[in-house]
Structure 1
Amino acid sequence: MASPDEVDIALAAYREEGVWQLQELADTALASLETLSSALRRFPGDGGALALLAFDEDVFLVVRVVGPRVRVLLSDVTAADVFDLAREAIEQLGLPYPEEDDEPVPAGDLDLLGDLGMPAIDMGVLIDDFDLYPDEMLSDIATSLGFGAAFDDFVGLTSA
């Protein structure tokens, strides 16, 4: 299970009747990729539901569940050495376990959110911006999808 200390953000996002809804994910949903996927299936969503996770100010994971299909995007493949959910994402993608000297490259479907407003090219550019923290990257993703202000308010990125 992911330690609550290493998880900075754990939100579900889904559109209900065209309006984005956000809800914090319970720690129990973070026990595995399977429990996370099951938790996401409980949300009614036009186009499925998303999990937006940030770990230890280091990496983010986006999981999208539409019916039985689970798609993942991990911002840094080397995170599999540190975070269980990152390791499970690598396994689900059928990728080899990262070596110690591997470069920090994304793993998964860069076009995961293309139909929602964030094409693969934009996602790739975002992930390549090493000056941004994962919460800032997730904020940019949320902005591209149309719920940036709500996301920022929810996770405390909005300045007072």
Structure 2
Amino acid sequence: MAESGSVTRVVHDDTIDFALAAYVADGEWHLGELADTTLVSVETLASGLRRFDTGGGALAMVGVDEDFFVLVRVDGSATRALLSDVTAALEWEIAESVVDFLGLLDPEDDDHGPAGDLGIVADLGMHADDMGELVDDVELYPDEMLSDVAHRLGFGPAFDDAVGFEGP
């Protein structure tokens, strides 16, 4: 734990449910685990993702404490990010880094909703409107949401296997 003003911020520890890199190589989707050292900020995630970028970009999929997810996508020097619930930035360092990366003001307790690029994977098969609907569903856990994303992009079974998701 680290203190920041009067708000207790949780630094990466065993609260990360999963942290995967998804990337296309030889025309097929592959998954790899992201090192713990990359799970601090958007910048460290992007740096860790670059080792997976085979020319078509790479996507980090991070689920935190069954509460929210972070997507970071790198394609060459470009980095894009999506946080499923902006209020996570009030308690979690990795979520706060997304808000900072996006240049947003600190959220208030009642600012629920996503922050960032809802079209982060639109060119891969999941449009921004669909992503918006998905992250607005407060009944779903992060692994369920990201399983849906993975299925729409074409690597759902591999994702489900990697995170131990058994579906509804």
TM-score range, shorter chain: over 0.9
The answer to whether the 8 Å contact 1:61/1:73 transfers is: yes
Q: 2:148 aligns with which of 131, 140, 144?
A: 140
Q: For residues 139 and 106 of structure 2, what CA distance do their matches in structure 1 show?
A: 26
**Mind listing any 5+ residue stretches in structure 1 that lack a counterpart?**
none
The alignment covers a number of residue pairs equal to 158
Q: CA RMSD in A?
A: 1.4
Q: What is the aligned partner in structure 1 of residue 66 from structure 2?
A: 57
Distance in 1 between the 2:108 and 2:155 partners? 36
Give the distance between the partners of 1:46 and 1:138, measured in 2 at CA. Answer: 23
Show the counterpart of 2:119. 111
In structure 2, relative to structure 1, the CA distance for the partners of 1:156 and 1:115 (3 Å cut) is same
Q: Deviations over 1:65-113 (max 9, x none)?
A: 011111000000100011111101101111100123x231100010110
Q: Which runs of 4+ in 1 moved over 6 A?
A: none
1:96 counterpart residue number? 105
User: Normalised by the size of structure 1, how large is the TM-score?
Assistant: 0.94
Q: What's the offset of the Cα at 1:131?
A: 1.1
Q: Could you tell me which amino acid in structure 2 is paired with residue 16 of structure 1?
A: A
Asked whether the 8 Å contact 1:17–1:46 carries over to 2, the reply is: no
Aligned sequence identity (%)? 57
Are 1:2 and 1:30, in contact at CA under 8 Å, matched by a contact in 2?
no
Cα displacement (A) at 1:46: 4.3
Aligned with 1:91: secondary structure?
helix
